[in-house]
Amino acid sequence: MTRLRVQKSDITVVKADATVIFLFEGDKAPKTLDGKLGGRISAILKKKIFVPKKLSVRRVDTLGKLPADSILLVGLGSKDDFSGELLRRASAKAALAARESGAESLALSISGLASKKNPADELAQCAAEGILLSLYKFDEYKKKPEENGGDLRSVVFACGGDREDVGAGVDTAEKLCKGVALARNLGNQPANTATPTYIANAALKECRKVGVKCRILEKKDLERLGMGSFLAVAKGSAEPPKFIVMEYFNGAKREKPIVLVGKGLTFDTGGISIKPSANMEDMKFDMSGGGAVIGAMTAAASLKLRKNIVGLVPCTENMPGGRATKPGDVARSLTGLTVEIINTDAEGRLILADALGYAKRYKPRAVVDMATLTGACMVALGVHASGLMGNDQKLIDAVREAGEKTGERCWQLPLWEDYDDQIKSQVADVKNVGDRYGGAITAAAFLKKFTDYPWAHLDIAGTAYGAKPRTPYMTSGSAGIGVRLLIRFVRDF
């Protein structure tokens, strides 16, 4: 794990293998630094050997003239375009470049970038997040881990009078990134390891560490409660279903909680409506929403948020066994609504329906669910934004704003009553799929039937994982999407 330190000193005197210097387009070389290097940085900028465009990086050897072995010039583009997210990405690029060069220590300063619009604590948090998230590795199953440079063991944030603010931002980032790493680790595990039982035990263990109350409802509990919609999905699997309930009450005694719900499908074959074999291995990531909620709950406790929060994660596999639900079967949900199951591959909404029904017992201020729910959302938005819908515009706006601040962007799709016609059933109260078009919206329309409180839904099918990193800090495999967004939303709402 990379160690982050905050040090009150000038960046030019910090001893490190590499020192980061951020530059905007049109900036001159830092006077003291450039002087010690005999004007080398000025010459590089003048000759346009390095142009500080967004996320450009150039390594300059100090030839022993500074305590640092090398300087990493990192471009930020135009000052008008500067944001915390840009710094998050630029810091990630710097960390990756340092690691690839074999550096084990890195120094940087964000003090000169801070302003009223971008205060030092938030910029420090963004920079630290970019560094820690970019350096994540999952090599548990490799006999010989891949070489991609050395391990960046330490990072120093050099600062002046803003040391307290910088320190607070770095501390927040470290606690958040532990939650993201937990979500990524759970997602990257193969499904023969990460069964519902494994996920439940991991939640118990991690919650115990930070003081979150956690209990697991077993199959017999789900039957007693009448969670027929959830159980309909679990019927075909030899693995028992688990319903993870996490409670963190650290807010005002009478304050209604915010409930976070995450889809925990540890593997999705599609059931009887079986998926094509191509890329089915990626269905181990179908529990990404659940992993994010577990990560967010542990991060909330680590940060000691003065909030009341509940996390609910229904966990199961969706398998085509001899007892599996068949297309056309009808299940009775916890809320009493009956569901005609037209397609067993639309299973995420079935387990979420009972989790949303269970959330009612908390009389919540708001409920946000997060799920890798529909390929249709990927068709609509690609891989750079999560779909966002709900029944309360104030809540939707708060979730969207949290996404903008964390770089985990969301885009609102309509959820008009017109879409309800597509999920009307002739034999039950509702059916679990509509027709071919608007699939992400009709999935949300289905979920809406099980809510009677302010509710927002995030479809993260396109953003939760990927074969290639989409940003410098978002690694391939599980992206851990949702942890930082949910924490920002809870803090600000």
Other residues' Cβ atoms within 10 Å of the Cβ of residue 86: 18
Which of 5, 163, 275, 365 is labelled catalytic?
275
Rounded to 10 degrees, the C-alpha dihedral 63/67/71/74 comes to -170
Q: What is the pLDDT of residue 151?
A: 87
CA-CA distance, 239 to 29, in Å (whole number)?
Answer: 61
Two tokens, residue 472: 């410098």
In this structure, the answer to whether residues 69 and 212 fall within a common structural domain is no
Using alpha carbons only, give the angle 40, 41, 42 rounded to the nearest 5 degrees. 90
Q: Do residues 110 and 87 touch, judged by C-beta distance below 8 A?
A: yes
Q: Tell me the residue type at 447.
A: L
Chosen domain end from 95, 127, 159:
159
pLDDT band at 317 (very low <50, low <70, confident <90, very high): very high
Q: How far is CA 389 from the centre of its chain?
A: 18
52 in a structural domain:
yes
376: Cβ–Cβ under 8 A, 6 or more apart, which residues? 438, 439, 440, 443
Residues 155 and 240 in one domain: no
- Three-state secondary-structure class, residue 359: helix
**CB-side neighbour CA atoms (13 Å) of 353:** 33
Pair (154, 204) in one structural domain: no
275 is catalytic: yes
In a domain, 375, yes or no: yes
Q: 333 and 435: one domain? A: yes
Domain count within the chain: 2
Q: What percent of the chain has pLDDT over 90?
A: 96
pLDDT over 80 (residue 146): no
Write out pLDDT tens, residues 354-408: 999 999 999 999 999 999 999 999 999 999 999 999 999 999 999 999 999 999 9
Query: Given pLDDT bands bounded at 50, 70 and 90, which one contains residue 149?
Result: low
pLDDT band (50, 70, 90) for residue 143: confident
Better-scored residue on pLDDT, 150 or 107? 107
Same domain, 427 and 281: yes
Segment 22-72, tens digit of pLDDT: 999 999 999 999 999 999 999 999 999 999 999 999 999 999 999 999 999
Instruction: Inform me whether the pLDDT recorded for 259 exceeds 70.
Output: yes
Per-residue pLDDT tens over the stretch 158-216: 998 899 999 999 999 999 999 999 999 999 999 999 999 999 999 999 999 999 999 99
* Catalytic option among 40, 88, 349, 405: 349
Give the domain-ending residue among 100, 132, 159. Answer: 159
Q: Is the pLDDT of residue 14 over 90?
A: yes
Output the pLDDT for position 298: 98
Residue 472 counted as domain residue: yes
pLDDT confidence band for 147 (50 / 70 / 90): low
Cross-strand bridge partners of residue 244:
216, 313
Question: The domain spanning residue 453 has which CATH number?
Answer: 3.40.630.10
Question: Which pLDDT does position 144 carry in this prediction?
Answer: 77
Which residue carries 């604590």 as its tokens?
121
Residues 68 and 200 in one domain: no
Contacts of 319 (CB under 8 A, 6+ apart): 236, 237, 238, 267, 269, 271
Confidence bin at 413 (pLDDT 50/70/90): very high
Residue 120's Cβ-count burial label (10 Å; 0-12, 13-18, 19+) is buried
Is residue 86 situated within a structural domain? yes
- In-domain check, residue 168: no
Residue holding tokens 């008009």?
416
Question: Has residue 169 been placed in a domain?
Answer: no
Lowest average pLDDT, out of 148-152, 394-398, 430-434, 472-476, goes to 148-152
Alpha helices in 360-482 (DSSP H): 375-381, 393-406, 439-448
Beta strands 258-262; 477-478: pairing state = unpaired
- DSSP 3-state assignment of 201? helix
Residue 31, H or E segment: helix 31-36
pLDDT in tens, 440-479: 999 999 999 999 999 999 999 999 999 999 999 999 999 9
d(C-alpha 76, C-alpha 128), whole Å: 16
- Amino acid letter for position 481: I
Residues 9 and 144 in one domain: yes
In a domain, residue 170? The reply is: no
Whether residue 201 is contained in a domain is answered as yes
**Do 137 and 190 have their domain in common?**
no
What are 312's strand-pairing partners? 245, 261
Q: Which of 106, 132, 159 is the last residue of a domain?
A: 159
Given a cut of 90, whether residue 302 has pLDDT beyond it is yes
Spatial separation of the C-alpha atoms in residues 313 and 356, rounded to whole Å: 10
Q: 57 and 193 in one domain? A: no
Q: CA of 373: how far to CAs of 307, 343, 377, 444, in Å?
A: 28, 14, 8, 9
Instruction: Let me know whether 289 and 196 are in one domain.
Output: yes
Q: Could you give the CA distance from residue 279 to residue 421 in angstroms, rounded to a whole number?
A: 33
Residue identified by tokens 């997040």 is: 129
- Compute how many other C-beta atoms are within 10 angstroms of the C-beta atom of residue 216: 18
- In sequence order, what are the beta bridge partners of 19? 71, 107
State the CATH number of the domain containing residue 80: 3.40.220.10
Q: Which residues of 413-476 form beta strands (DSSP E)?
A: 430-431, 455-459, 465-466
pLDDT at 409 exceeding the cut of 80: yes
Between helix 120-134 and helix 163-188 the angle, nearest 10°, is: 30
| 184, 188, 191, 197: CA torsion to nearest 10 | -30
Percentage of residues of the chain with pLDDT beyond 70: 99
Average pLDDT of the residues in 143-165: 85
187 and 336 both lie in a single domain? yes
Average pLDDT of the chain to the nearest whole number: 96
Q: What are phi and psi of 5, to 5 degrees?
A: -130, 150
- pLDDT of 148 > 80? The answer is no
Domain around 342 = 176-492
Q: Are residues 393 and 462 in the same domain?
A: yes
Q: Return d(Cα 281, Cα 283) in angstroms, integer.
A: 5
349 is catalytic: yes
